[in-house]
Amino acid sequence: MGKIVAVHSYKGGTGKTIISTNLAVTLAKLGRKVCLMDLDFRAPSLSTL
């Protein structure tokens, strides 16, 4: 069964994208299947990494 991990904060600039990206990379290196999504529709920043 898959698991969902959410990184959330109401305030911008708290490092959500960096933490999410590093977590996804670490899990992928451990052989896990990973799907990383940026659901901030007002200011998405995942594509800049």
Is residue 17 within 8 A of residue 49, CB to CB? The reply is: yes
**What's the whole-model pTM score?**
0.77
Tell me the pLDDT tens digit for each residue of 1-49: 889 999 988 888 888 889 999 999 999 999 999 999 888 777 777 666 6
The 10 Å CB-count burial string (b at 16+, else e) for 16-45 is bbeebbeebeeeeeeeeeeeeebeeeeeee
Q: Which two tokens stand for residue 11?
A: 């305030």
CA 31 to chain centre: 17
Query: How is the chain split into domains, by residue range?
Result: 16-43
